[in-house]
Chain A
Amino acid sequence: MEFQSILFNKRNQYCLNESVYEPEFFCDLNLDQLVNDIVENKEEYNLKPFFYLKLKNVEDINYRLDIMKEFDNNNLYSIMYDFSANMKRFKEYKEYSETLYFDYQLNKWFLDSADLYCRIVLELNEKISILKFDSLGFRLFQGWIESYINSDEFKIFSQLTFEMEELFSNIKYNLKIFKNKVLVTFEKSEGNYCDTLSKCFDKINDKKFDFKLGIFKDVKINPIEDLIIKAIKEEKTELFERLSKYRNDFSNFENEKIMNFIREIQFYISYIDFMNKLRKKGYVFSYPKFSDTKIVEFKNMYDLALANKNSKETIIRNDLFLEREENVLILSGPNQGGKTTYARAFGQASYLAFIGCPIACDESKIYLFDNVYTHFSNDENINIDTGKLKEELVRLEKIIKRITPNSLLILNELFATTTTYDGYNMGKDLIEYLIELECVCLYVTHIFELSKLSRKIVNLVACVDSSKNRTYKILRKDSDGKVYANTIAEKYDLSYKSLKKRLSNIN
């Protein structure tokens, strides 16, 4: 099997062009914000389509997850990070070689970009050739890049490039600057005055002096530089001519697979960066596992978009378990009790698993649903409003037409804009249909009577503690809270027992 793509096991199964749109549920699940944050500062790679495309089978997902795991190992990450940074520089050089003014300038940038390209590719091969990969994707890439750099085409090209680059960098010249003229000469230098000056104080100053003098930093060539280069050209005519020929001979030296690779690995890099940012705040990610049957198990899942906004780890985590034969979960409880957050966390974790990303929970197992559908009320203000009800029903209709027994559905406060009586009746009808269809559905509602419709329904409640404070814990119904008595000293962890424990841990 030959290496195709680092994102797709079998690339041709996916039509990946610019017409991939943001899925409809992105906004409801706050995935839009999340993806915006993940791809921030990587606009040039146009990564969003990769996040919009749900994978079709578990094999494809595992292809990615395995690669993601390799990235999660620091070594490979930093190799790829450096590779990306270098490639960015390469693209910059390449652009100069096409857009600047003087011929000698364009030619030299072309040579410089080629030189950089060869060195980047060789370095990448060198770095990854010694690694042992578990993922199919990197094993294939490893083999491919080795054969690429050993191809005659690459060998001839890189050798010539290095030779040319060296010839140019060996040119040394002097400028003697007087009040009214500058002499360009080629003679031996007398030494470096600033070095001598610097050495004088070395004895008392052990901090290394590191100063890179920049003269004429602009990429453009100014009048005096032009005259200087012309004086040099006069001296090295032949070399300048060789450079023009070189450029004509190798006008398309970049390899397409390398160029695709550089874009596609940004998917992993951006996600790893995002995870590490959250990990620093104390959040945990885990690699999803897949099940052949329609079950869902999320342990300690949390809302990633919310976590991303929080400054430190303070979020409440919740479980979601759905066994075989269970398909409809009804979540009720007080307003602002964490219901919507729970629904979002569920949707996000599921979808991110389907595109091959680690997800926001401790452990998970999930069925690869054929699609995700969500319906969130647009407005948290709950007023009776027939216009809104109609709009809601139109949206719901579209979903109902498309769902299959293998779909995942998240309905958040449907019919909230109508009366409780109507809401109950419509909800009842819909839930009965969903039970029959056997698709998996999380149904969030304030109408708790709906949970008593059928014994097949799994009931979830957003909990309150004994003093009616919201805990944001979502539990299967048979739960209860606990109250602890505490003394003032215990409040500060200053009882004899806890002090002994604290003090025995100090140095």
Chain B
Amino acid sequence: MIRSLLFEKSIDEEKFNVKEKEELTDDLNLELIIKSMAKDDLFLYKTCKEVILNSLTKKELILFRQSILKDCIENKNIILELYSVITTTLKQSKKYIDYTKPHYAKVITMSNKVENGIGLIYIYVNSFEKLKKILDESKKYFSSKGLVDFNKDVDEIFTKEFFDECKYHVEYLSNVSEKKFMMVSATIGKGMKGTNYVLDKISESESYNLLSNIFNKNNKSNVINLESVNLANNANEIIDGMYTHILRVINHSAKYIQEFLESLRYEIGFYVGGINLYEEMKSKGFHTTMPVVEESIDVVLEFEDLYDLGLAIDKEKLPVRNDLNASKKNLIVITGANQGGKSTYLRSIGLAQILMQSGLFVPAEFYRSNISKRIFTHFTRKEDINMNSGRLDEELLRINNIINNMNKHSIVFMNESFATTTEREGTIIAKEIILALIEENVKVIYVTHLYEFAEKIYQENNNEATFLRAGRTDIGERTFKIKEDRPIYTSYGEDLYKKHIKENIKKT
């Protein structure tokens, strides 16, 4: 068994069946990041998306991936070559697999199928030899535990003896259809029928046969002449049975090897995605850092020069960066001007958190955060899909789903939740829900217009929360910087009104 590059056996990672993946992808604009990782490779796209959305919850495992990723970035050519060898092999093997199924096209004889099957094995063995060669030449560059162990396993399994043995069988079975006779042994089973049929050998030489004939010379009844079609068919059935057995063995192993190569492609694929993203960011001058991971029981969130990577990729330039130190606080309330960068800010944290928990680097100069057991987003939907329930109903239904899937030490990114009702009612609901969440050790980062809510929390629960506000300059222009500040009443809607309506009125 070759150890995985994404997981470690000794670390028992919890696996969650995440139903909210699509929401998370949309809300955090993950699509753009995954596309940068995939570089038009559909397989990489699927792989990276899946790995990122299945967040890790164990610190050791995140560090395990971080160190592999560092090795990969530093030795990107080796990794890209491995990925390409595996991809090519899988392309070739796919063509062969159908031909080797025992029930595939009756017109192809079983012996031909065996020959095809061994051809498939040949492709695999060939590919293993290439992988082994690449790794032999490059293993000295790796320092991460993951890649070192991987190399060790490869060395242990893909030995010279293994390759020799494989080649022996490739030889033995490559032209079975031309061999002279087959020797089979069996025992008597139920109802006197033969059972435990075993293939002794498929042989070219008849010398053995001559020898045993001497012993049985006078025993005529021991020879069955295949003079009738029935008898000949029966005999063929035994031969085909033996070939079927060989094919099953080949297919069993081939299936496993295929799966192994597929999973290797998947695992290396994730790191190839990491390399791609890293290269793209580097070329555009976007800074990155390996995040500092803290255990989930510690409440930590601290960063410098964090930016929204999706926005950066989209606009091809570095957007506004923000700093924060909100450790020991389970609640962050973000209020302030419309269009002031609140959603972008929320997204930048969510994105960094999810990238960190997949083992990737994050778009910041510095990022330190605790692991969240589950990551949820609750963003107001532009429109309510289900017209049967009111919009508030729909919101609460989603919250309810989140809570059903929640674990302690989860994090919820909320964007304008409970804005679908009056401020009074929204405040009551928000307070009930959010207080219950943070008291039970769920981190909540909440962008809201509910001033009444923010003010109440500020007055009553100040110690448990950090309050941030989207700023503006003295002349009313938005800075898109989010700074620590108490909530204040005006939401600067008038600014927008001024810009879009009043100024237009003036012009006309």
By a beta-carbon cutoff of 8 Å, the part of chain A in contact with chain B is: 93, 96, 100, 102, 104-105, 108-109, 112, 168-185, 187, 189-194, 197-198, 200-201, 203-207, 209, 211, 213-216, 219, 221-225, 227-232, 234, 488-489, 491-496, 499-500, 502-504, 506-507
Q: Are B257 and A168 in contact (CB under 8 A)?
A: no
Q: B118's closest neighbor in chain A, by CB? A: A197
Q: Does B496 contact A (CB under 8 A)?
A: no
Some 24 contacts from A to B, beta carbons below 8 A apart, are A174-B200, A178-B209, A182-B235, A193-B202, A194-B246, A200-B166, A200-B253, A205-B252, A215-B197, A215-B237, A223-B230, A224-B224, A224-B234, A224-B238, A234-B219, A488-B392, A492-B396, A494-B399, A494-B429, A494-B433, A496-B432, A500-B440, A503-B408, A506-B440
Known: A198-B249, A224-B231, A224-B235. A104 touches B192 (CB 8 A): yes
Q: Does B180 contact A (CB under 8 A)?
A: yes
A507: B residues at CB distance < 8 A? 407-408
Q: Are A213 and B188 in contact (CB under 8 A)?
A: no
Known: A175-B183, A506-B408. A488 touches B200 (CB 8 A): no
B212: A residues at CB distance < 8 A? 176, 183, 185, 187
**Complex Cα spacing A215 to B225, Å:** 20
Known: A181-B225, A211-B248. A189 touches B200 (CB 8 A): yes
Known: A189-B200, A192-B198, A192-B199. A506 touches B407 (CB 8 A): yes
Interface residues of B in 393-439 (CB under 8 A from A): 393, 396-397, 399-400, 403, 406-408, 429, 431-433, 435-437, 439
Q: Are B199 and A194 in contact (CB under 8 A)?
A: yes
**Complex Cα spacing A189 to B1, Å:** 33
Q: Are B440 and A503 in contact (CB under 8 A)?
A: yes
Known: A96-B191, A189-B200, A492-B399. A209 touches B432 (CB 8 A): no
Q: B392's closest neighbor in chain A, by CB? A: A488
**Complex Cα spacing A54 to B339, Å:** 80
A176: B residues at CB distance < 8 A? 181-184, 209, 212
Interface string of B1-18 (1 = CB under 8 A from A): 110000000000000000
Interface string of B242-260 (1 = CB under 8 A from A): 1011101110110011001
A168: B residues at CB distance < 8 A? 188, 192
Known: A109-B190, A182-B224, A500-B439. A205 touches B201 (CB 8 A): no
B165: A residues at CB distance < 8 A? 200
Q: Are A172 and B186 in contact (CB under 8 A)?
A: yes
A500: B residues at CB distance < 8 A? 436, 439-440
Known: A185-B212, A205-B253. A190 touches B200 (CB 8 A): yes
Please report the total number of B residues contacting A with Cβ < 8 Å.
81
Interface string of B207-243 (1 = CB under 8 A from A): 0010011011001011111101011001101110110
Partner of A192, one of B188, B200, B239, B253: B200
- Residue among B194, B209, B239 with the highest chain A CB neighbour number at 10 A: B194
By a beta-carbon cutoff of 8 Å, the part of chain B in contact with chain A is: 1-2, 157, 162, 165-166, 169, 180-194, 197-202, 209, 212-213, 215-216, 219, 221-226, 228, 230-231, 234-235, 237-239, 241-242, 244-246, 248-250, 252-253, 256-257, 260, 392-393, 396-397, 399-400, 403, 406-408, 429, 431-433, 435-437, 439-440, 442
Partner of A178, one of B180, B241, B393: B180
**Complex Cα spacing A228 to B252, Å:** 32
**Complex Cα spacing A177 to B256, Å:** 32
B162: A residues at CB distance < 8 A? 200, 203
Pick the 6 closest A-B CB pairs, nearest first: A224-B234, A499-B436, A503-B440, A201-B253, A496-B432, A108-B192
Q: Are B442 and A503 in contact (CB under 8 A)?
A: yes
Q: Are B403 and A494 in contact (CB under 8 A)?
A: yes
Q: Are B432 and A494 in contact (CB under 8 A)?
A: yes
A109: B residues at CB distance < 8 A? 190-191
Given A100-B191, A215-B241, 7 other A-B contacts at CB below 8 A? A96-B191, A181-B223, A185-B222, A190-B200, A225-B194, A228-B194, A494-B400
Q: Are B429 and A489 in contact (CB under 8 A)?
A: yes
Q: A501's closest neighbor in chain B, by CB? A: B436
Q: Are A204 and B257 in contact (CB under 8 A)?
A: yes
**Complex Cα spacing A296 to B215, Å:** 86
Q: Are B226 and A181 in contact (CB under 8 A)?
A: yes
**Complex Cα spacing A506 to B405, Å:** 9
Q: Are A200 and B183 in contact (CB under 8 A)?
A: no
Partner of B190, one of A108, A171, A187, A223: A108
**Complex Cα spacing A234 to B213, Å:** 17
A180: B residues at CB distance < 8 A? 225-226
Known: A169-B188, A492-B396, A496-B435. A193 touches B199 (CB 8 A): yes
Known: A169-B187, A492-B400. A213 touches B253 (CB 8 A): no
Partner of A172, one of B2, B185, B224: B185
* Min distance, Cβ B432 to any Cβ of chain A, angstroms: 4
Q: Are A201 and B194 in contact (CB under 8 A)?
A: no
A105: B residues at CB distance < 8 A? 191-192
Known: A172-B185, A223-B231. A194 touches B239 (CB 8 A): no
B228: A residues at CB distance < 8 A? 223
Q: Are B200 and A230 in contact (CB under 8 A)?
A: no
* Min distance, Cβ A92 to any Cβ of chain B, angstroms: 10
Partner of B252, one of A179, A209, A214: A209
Q: Are A93 and B237 in contact (CB under 8 A)?
A: no
Q: B189's closest neighbor in chain A, by CB? A: A169
B400: A residues at CB distance < 8 A? 492-494
B244: A residues at CB distance < 8 A? 213
**Complex Cα spacing A198 to B202, Å:** 16
* Min distance, Cβ A487 to any Cβ of chain B, angstroms: 9
Q: Are A499 and B433 in contact (CB under 8 A)?
A: yes
* Min distance, Cβ A198 to any Cβ of chain B, angstroms: 5
Partner of A215, one of B194, B221, B249, B260: B194
* Min distance, Cβ A119 to any Cβ of chain B, angstroms: 13
Q: Are A193 and B185 in contact (CB under 8 A)?
A: no
Q: Are B403 and A231 in contact (CB under 8 A)?
A: no
Q: Are B403 and A502 in contact (CB under 8 A)?
A: yes
* Min distance, Cβ B98 to any Cβ of chain A, angstroms: 20
B225: A residues at CB distance < 8 A? 180-181
Partner of A184, one of B189, B222, B246: B222
A228: B residues at CB distance < 8 A? 194, 224
Q: Are A488 and B193 in contact (CB under 8 A)?
A: no
A489: B residues at CB distance < 8 A? 396, 429, 432-433
Q: Are B1 and A206 in contact (CB under 8 A)?
A: yes
A183: B residues at CB distance < 8 A? 209, 212-213, 216, 222-224
Partner of B221, one of A104, A231, A495: A231
**Complex Cα spacing A207 to B253, Å:** 9
- Residue among B1, B180, B191 with the highest chain A CB neighbour number at 10 A: B191
Q: Are B433 and A222 in contact (CB under 8 A)?
A: no
A169: B residues at CB distance < 8 A? 187-189
Q: Are B245 and A211 in contact (CB under 8 A)?
A: yes
Q: Are A198 and B253 in contact (CB under 8 A)?
A: yes
Partner of B226, one of A182, A201, A229: A182
A193: B residues at CB distance < 8 A? 199-202, 246
Q: Are B237 and A499 in contact (CB under 8 A)?
A: no
A181: B residues at CB distance < 8 A? 223-226
B237: A residues at CB distance < 8 A? 215-216
- Residue among A96, A108, A213, A504 with the highest chain B CB neighbour number at 10 A: A213
**Complex Cα spacing A222 to B193, Å:** 10
A179: B residues at CB distance < 8 A? 226
B213: A residues at CB distance < 8 A? 183
Partner of A174, one of B183, B249, B407, B439: B183
**Complex Cα spacing A493 to B397, Å:** 10
* Min distance, Cβ B430 to any Cβ of chain A, angstroms: 10
Q: Are A191 and B187 in contact (CB under 8 A)?
A: no
**Complex Cα spacing A503 to B374, Å:** 14
Q: Are B238 and A175 in contact (CB under 8 A)?
A: yes
Q: Are A185 and B216 in contact (CB under 8 A)?
A: yes
Q: Are A190 and B183 in contact (CB under 8 A)?
A: yes
Q: A107's closest neighbor in chain B, by CB? A: B192
**Complex Cα spacing A500 to B437, Å:** 8
